Amino acid sequence: MKNILHIISSPKGEHGHSVKLARAIIKQLCNQHKECKIAERDLLAAELPYLDGLHISALFKNEAERSDDENQKLSYSDAVLREIKAADIIVLGAPMYNFGIHAALKAYIDQIVRFGHTIAYQRDGSRIGLLKDKVVYLAITAGGNYTNSGFDPVNDYIVNYLQTILNYMGIETIIPLIIEGTAAPDFMVDYDQICNDIQSATAVS
Ligand SMILES: Cc1cc2nc3c(=O)[nH]c(=O)nc-3n(C[C@H](O)[C@H](O)[C@H](O)COP(=O)(O)O)c2cc1C
């Protein structure tokens, strides 16, 4: 049985190409694994908390030391951490907006990168990521088509960033699936076709 977490960061909901790509990835994964339980976290469904002063002061205290306001401030983080820890496979939708990830996805990442939960220091002072044995599929979409243009914002600003932050939290297997050119008037794509050979898709390292 595999727990799959689908994270949505497209403001276009069901019309988002990254949502459709992620759903095709999940379909393939569920064909491979006997049983799948799918959870969904739509980052555009409600306003996300941002890192502010109260949040940061709460991060440096243990639960008993925190004020009610500080504990309340961390409640969203607590909920999304429970969800991501429970997942075996994460399908992370990451559409390109203004050459980077959507602000909602950055806000979400700020909630899940947390000492004692996703990162920790060891006795010798070295840092380790705590999200072990998870696989992340990145469903990346961009309106532009950058292939052969000498400019690669998809890999430079999205894949590299997500790989860095996921590695930081201990996730080592990261498999990007990318669709470019969604803004072209004649754009057509077979999402299932892109995911057909998901097993042989290459992980970034
Ligand atoms: C405000 C805005 C900014 C965008 N910025 C970029 C961009 O910097 N580069 C790009 O290639 N496409 C850009 N796009 C196009 C989106 O990447 C494209 O619509 C993509 O399909 C979004 O993924 P989604 O359909 O899953 O939301 C932008 C679209 C909007 C509405």
pLDDT digits (tens, 9 = 90+) for 133-178: 999 999 999 999 999 999 999 999 999 999 999 999 999 999 999 9
Binding residues: 10, 96-99, 141-144
Cα-to-centroid distance, 117 and ligand 1 (Å): 32
pLDDT, average across residues 35-44:
97
User: Is pLDDT at 200 greater than 80 in this prediction?
Assistant: no
Q: Which residues approach ligand 1 with their CB closer than 6 A?
A: 10, 12, 16-19, 95-99, 141-144, 182-183
Amino acid residing at 5: L
The residue whose CA is least distant from atom 23 of ligand 1 is 95
Cα-to-centroid distance, 188 and ligand 1 (Å): 16
Beta bridge partners of 119: 115, 129
How many CB atoms are closer than 10 A to CB 69? 10
The residue whose CA is least distant from atom 30 of ligand 1 is 97
Q: Give CA–CA dist 111/108, Å, rounded.
A: 5
User: Is pLDDT at 205 greater than 80 in this prediction?
Assistant: no
Per-residue model confidence (pLDDT) at position 196: 81
Instruction: Starting at the earlier edge strand, list the strands of the sheet with 135-142.
Output: 36-42, 2-8, 89-95, 135-142, 173-180
Residues in CB range of 88: below 8 A, 6 or more apart? 2, 3, 4, 133, 134, 135
Q: Which of 21-25, 40-44, 88-92, 147-151 shows the lowest per-residue confidence on average (mean pLDDT)? A: 147-151
In this structure, whether the domain defined by 2-200 belongs to CATH 3.30.1490.20 is answered with no
The ligand 1 atom at the shortest distance from the C-alpha of residue 20 is 26
